[in-house]
Amino acid sequence: MDISSFVPLFTREAIAAKVAEMGRRIAEDFRDEPLVCVCVLRGAFMFFADLVRAIPKEDLYVDFIRISSYGKSTVSSGHVSLHTDLAFDVEGKNVLVVEDVVDSGRSLRFLLDMLAARKPRRLACAVLVDKHARREVKVDPDYVGFSMDDGFIVGYGLDYAGKMRNLPEIRVPEQELR
- Nearest CA among 92, 166, 15 for reference residue 23: 15
Active site residue 103: yes
> Whole-number mean pLDDT of the chain?
91
Listed by start position, the domains of the chain span 3-177
As a whole number of angstroms, the distance between CA 86 and CA 47 comes to 18
Q: Annotated catalytic residue: which of 50, 100, 103, 130?
A: 103
Strand partners, 58: none
Q: Please state the rounded mean pLDDT for residues 67-93.
A: 78
Q: What is the pLDDT of residues 19-74, one digit of tens each?
A: 999 999 999 999 999 999 999 999 999 999 999 999 999 999 999 999 987 555 55
The strand ranges marked E within 25-131 are 35-41, 60-68, 81-84, 94-102, 122-131
Asked whether the predicted pLDDT for residue 77 surpasses 60, the reply is no
User: What CATH fold (topology level) applies to the domain 3-177?
Assistant: Rossmann fold (3.40.50)
